[in-house]
Amino acid sequence: MKKKILIGVAIFFGIFLIWRISSLIFSGGKSVRAPRSPVAVEVDSVSYGPIREVRQLTGTIYPQYQYIAAPKVSGRILLIRKRIGDPVRTGELIAQIDDAEYQQSVIEAEANLKIAQASLAESRSQFELAGQEKERAEQLQAKGIASPAELDAAVTNFSAQKSRYALAEAQVEQREAALKSARIRLGYTRLTASKPGFIGERFVDEGALLAPNAAVASVVGIDSVIVRTTVIERVYNQIRIGQKASVTVDAFQARRFPGTVSRIAPMLQEASRVAQMEVEVRNDSLLLKPGMFARVEVVTAEKDSAQIVSALAVVSRNGESGIFVVNRDDSIAHYVPVKTGIVTPDHVEILSPVITGLIVTLGQHLLDNGSPVLLPKTSPGTTQVEKVQ
């Protein structure tokens, strides 16, 4: 039985071999290749117009400035006029510290100053009197009436009164300085805003006993805000100070806030290979708040007129970019290597060569150079596929 099966298989292969040899003989030794079928594709035309390249980044919103309102002296808080979210103006009172002790220090300093001024007046009188006695003794000595001892006594008294007068003047200056210090410390009991803004945080309540430099409230300025983000090394050389940017946040997704690149770090962080960047955004509406997550779009390149094709048309073959071009007068797709410029999610700028004809935007992965194609033809109410002639 097995022998009959082997004989049948041998006969089948023999017949197939004879048929193949005969086919080669009658076809002149050439294999017959079936023609390639046309590939249905979609096409678009080349356009000319403006294009710009946008880089999308993410970051966090920070206030233009932020500071902590804190007293320079110790004391108990008597009054806090501001709460979270309240606006403050420059010089406006935020909190008041018990100032009874500091007022008393001012009163004491004023009294000490008056005492010093009185002492100065007395020393001035004694100094002037000593000067007169010295002049009289000198005149009498010149006439031979006064003795040299009397003149020496007058000169010594004049020098002593002069020293007392200088000491009194110094004491007055000292008391004046002490009064100024007491008034400054009294002023420290009034905690005022150094810049306008809004109360961001409040750390204490009325009645709290504060040490010097203890935080009372934070003030943030948000008339304009800063979006801090990072750029990777590949994009770093495309970012310039002054470039236009737009910012969006989750709280107002339908609104774009225009901004400008204001700062970029002169170095990249070694661990992450990114550089810090800041975008300044005007916040006249006060909608942007510090701490919000922000998406930033920076325009890195822009042209008013460029040769543009759909981004779907560009393919990569053997490490180079190219497109398939179809002319209306034939049914063949021609592969054309291209040099690209600005790239966006929807369009690509073609720097060279100049493209004429239709550009294949769908089905190009099935094409080779010289492949026949079928183009869609759309008429009102109907859609059909037409072979390009």
Can you give the pLDDT at residue 280? 96
Can you give the pLDDT at residue 155? 83
pLDDT, averaged across the chain: 86
Which CATH code for domain 39-51+305-387?
2.40.420.20
- Count CA atoms closer than 13 A to 24's CA, side-chain side: 6
Which CATH code for domain 101-184?
1.10.287
Can you give the pLDDT at residue 37? 81
Query: What are the residue ranges in the chain where pLDDT is below 70?
Result: 1-36, 377-389
Can you give the pLDDT at residue 388? 33
Furthest-apart CA pair in the chain: how many Å? 175
- The amino acid at 75: G
pLDDT digits (tens, 9 = 90+) for 287-298: 999 999 999 999
Q: What residues have CB less than 8 Å from 51, skipping those under 6 apart?
A: 302, 303, 306, 308, 342, 344, 347, 349
Task: Give the start-to-end residue ranges of the domains of the chain.
Answer: 39-51+305-387, 77-98+189-215, 101-184, 221-302
H or E element that contains 148: helix 148-187
Q: Find out if CATH 3.40.50.700 is the number for domain 221-302.
A: no
Q: Is 38 helix (H, G, I), strand (E, B) or coil?
A: coil
Pull the structure tokens for residue 212. Answer: 């010097």
Measured torsion, CA atoms of residues 106, 108, 110, 112, in degrees rounded to the nearest 10 = -150
